[in-house]
Amino acid sequence: MNKTLLLILCDFLLLNLLALTSWEKAEPSRAGIESAAPPTASSTASPAINADMVELMRVSLEDERTTREQLAAQLGNTQSTLTEREKALSQAEQQRTQLQGALATTTSNVKELEKKYSAVSDEAFLSKERLAKMQRELDERRAEAERQQAELARMERQNTEARQKIENLSVAVRVAEQEKQFLGQNLDQARTQIEVERQERYKVQEQTTQLAQGVGQLAERSTELTKELRDHRPVNANLIFGEFLANRVQMQVSTQRPGLFSPTFRERDAQTILVSDGRQTYALMHVSDTPFSLTRENPLNYQRITGRLAFGAVSAPMKEIRFLKLDPRVLVVPVDDAFAAQLGAKIYRLAAEPFKFPDVVLIRADDGKYGETPVRLDAEYASYVRVDNRLLTRLFGEIPPKRGDLMFAKTGELIGIMVSNEYCAVLGDFTPSQTLTVGESVVQQNTEAVFRDLTARLQRLPARLQ
């Protein structure tokens, strides 16, 4: 017999002893004690108390004999109670078996629902109403599974309580009868069955988790569809201008060329944006934003051309300037990916459908004016779009379009840059016609020939495009 059983037995006997003892017989008369008390309590109280304790123990022993006889009768009652508990445990096992069948049905329903969601996930055009309906059905199935799991847990608690009571009764039975030793073996078998049920419950929980992950993936696809719809929804011009203000990049270009008596220095500061053609990032500008000019009849050789790009506290020198074949008045500065990431400014994408909406947004970087205006396609010049100067009231501040203005689609993507006060060059091809390497000495590049070629290209354009 281990220590736990011994302590339980001792507690059980002590409680029965205390409960069956007639304390009123053992308690001495208070009046006799008070009359026998001497004037000095410390000298005479001890013998009287000892006598009372001896009398109390004698009475307790007599009561214990009677109690033992009653315990023998209670032992028979305990055996009957144990038999009833075993019957209750058998009924609980039957209920658990029924609940397992219901749980198996629920598991089958969950698998069918997974198949439905797998089929639904392949339909890209799933409507929001069907998605909500399927979500509600999934929630109901999940709630049913949780309810059955709770019911299973309740039955397990009942089984645990029943087993605990049987164990408590078996302690007293094993003390009186050795024939009940096999009860422990039965309890071990019950624990094994419960462990099997617990493993099955874990499997159901794993299946529920997988189903929840499938719902999460379906929600992500719904989010992607929502983003796609948002990309095709027109954006307010105020938001486009606010985004431009937060992402404009400062540009500075300085030149030095020979003068009559001393070198001539010119410097221009402007604000621009970063744009990408999908392969390379560029800083975009109009030739009027630089010290260069394409209207000189006799262009001179430049001795020095330097430039910097800056955004906030980050800046770096330009390496080269490219004049696009699309229009010689459009300049770009290549920006490598590392420097673009260091700058942190937004890199605008080119509009895939630039004229999906009838109006566009014009932004003038030098004075901060912007507005919406309609545009007209020109059948003769596919690379240009015309802005009607007669509809001035559609622009904020009633300003006419101006060269160097940036044109944005209503989706917030870049369309192009105004090359004149009436025509905008639609960006798409960033192939350069001429490239200048920027540095402290550019004499060897023969910039005179470069600008003579650019000026000739400009003069070959139709008169209304110039």
Look at residues 231, 262, 282 and tell me which one is the last residue of a structural domain: 231
Q: Which range, of 1-10, 138-147, 157-166, 289-298, averages the lowest pLDDT?
A: 1-10
The pLDDT-based confidence of 204 (bands split at 50, 70, 90) is confident
Q: What is the pLDDT of residue 79?
A: 77
34 lies in some domain: no
For residues 64 and 70, what is the distance between their CA atoms, to the nearest angstrom?
10
Domain co-membership, 278 together with 364? yes
User: Does residue 393 share a domain with residue 297?
Assistant: yes
Query: Is 104 within the bounds of a domain?
Result: yes
pLDDT in tens, 313-368: 999 999 999 999 999 999 999 999 999 999 899 999 999 888 888 889 999 887 77
Tokens of 39: 């004037």
- Say if 342 falls within a structural domain: yes
247 and 187 within one domain: no
Q: Are 250 and 388 contained in the same domain? A: yes
Q: What is the predicted pLDDT for the residue at 13? A: 80
In a domain, 183, yes or no: yes
Determine what percent of the chain is predicted with pLDDT higher than 70: 81
Residue with tokens 């912007």: 370
- Counting Cα atoms < 13 Å in the Cβ hemisphere of 440 gives 0
Same domain, 222 and 267: no
Does residue 129 have a pLDDT over 90?
A: no
- Together in a domain, 359 and 460: yes
Does residue 385 fall inside a structural domain? yes
Of the residues 231, 247, 280, which one is the last residue of a structural domain?
A: 231
Per-residue model confidence (pLDDT) at position 393: 46
Residue 243 token pair: 């985004």
Claim to verify: residue 222 and residue 260 sit in the same structural domain:
no
SS (H, E, C) the chain: CCHHHHHHHHHHHHHHHHHHCCHHHHCCCHHHHHHHCCCCHHHHHHHHHHHHHHHHHHHHHHHHHHHHHHHHHHHHHHHHHHHHHHHHHHHHHHHHHHHHHHHHHHHHHHHHHHHHHHHHHCCCCCCHHHHHHHHHHHHHHHHHHHHHHHHHHHHHHHHHHHHHHHHHHHHHHHHHCHHHHHHHHHHHHHHHHHHHHHHHHHHHHHHHHHHHHHHHHHHHHHHHHHHHHHHCCCCCHHHHHHHHHHHCEEEEEEEEECCCCCCEEEEEEEEECEEECCCCEEEEEEHHHCCCCCCCCCCCCCCEEEEEEEECCEEEECCEEEEECCCCCEEEEEECHHHHHHHCCCEEEECCCCCCCCEEEEECCCCCCEEEEEEEECCCCCCEEEECCCCHHHECCCCCCCCCCEEECCCCCEEEEECCCCEEEECCCCCEEEEEECECCCHHHCHHHHHHHHHHHHHHCCHHHC
Strand order in the sheet with 249-257: 264-272, 249-257, 304-311, 314-317
* In a domain? residue 282: yes
Tell me: do 323 and 441 sit in the same domain: yes
pLDDT at residue 4, as a whole number: 76
Answer whether residue 35 is part of any domain.
Answer: no
Closest C-alpha among 90, 305, 48 to residue 190 = 90
The dihedral of CA 217, 219, 222, 228: what is its sign?
negative
Is residue 231 predicted with pLDDT exceeding 90? no
Say whether pLDDT at 396 is over 50. Answer: no
The C-alpha torsion from 426 through 430 and 434 to 440, rounded to 10°, is 110
Instruction: Say if residue 222 is in the same domain as residue 243.
Output: no
189 and 123 in a single domain? The answer is yes
Rg (CA), the chain: 48
By CB atoms closer than 10 A (0-12, 13-18, 19+), residue 248 is buried
- Last-in-domain residue among 198, 231, 264: 231
The tokens 């009653």 sit on which residue?
70
What pLDDT does residue 397 have? 43
Tell me the one-letter amino acid at 152. Answer: L
Identify the domain containing residue 199 by its residue range: 3-29+46-231
C-alpha of 181 from chain center: 57
Cβ atoms of residues 412 and 418 within 8 Å: no
Q: What separation, in Å, do the N-terminal and C-terminal C-alpha atoms of the chain show? A: 110
d(CA 348, CA 332): 14
All residues at 6 or more sequence positions from 30 whose CB lies less than 8 Å from its CB, including other chains = none
pLDDT of residue 14 exceeding 60, the answer is yes
Q: What is the pLDDT of residues 291-304, one digit of tens each?
A: 998 876 566 789 99
What is the sign, positive or negative, of the torsion defined by CA atoms of 57, 59, 64, 67? negative
Q: What is the pTM of this model?
A: 0.51
Q: Are residues 322 and 368 in the same domain?
A: yes
| pLDDT greater than 80 at residue 284 | yes
Average pLDDT, the chain: 81
Identify any residues that bridge with 424 across adjacent strands, giving them in sequence order: 385, 418
Task: Answer yes or no: do 222 and 307 share one domain.
Answer: no
Q: How confident is the model at residue 43 (pLDDT cuts 50, 70, 90)?
A: very low
Per-residue pLDDT tens for 167-184? 877 776 677 676 666 666
Within a domain: 19: yes
Domain with residue 265: its CATH number is 2.40.10
Burial of 458 (C-beta count, 10 Å sphere; 0-12/13-18/19+): middle
> Domain total for the chain?
2
Question: Between 454 and 117, where is the model more confident?
Answer: 454
Q: How many residues appear in the chain?
A: 466
Residue 333 CB: number of other CB atoms within 10 A? 22
What per-residue confidence (pLDDT) applies to 25? 55
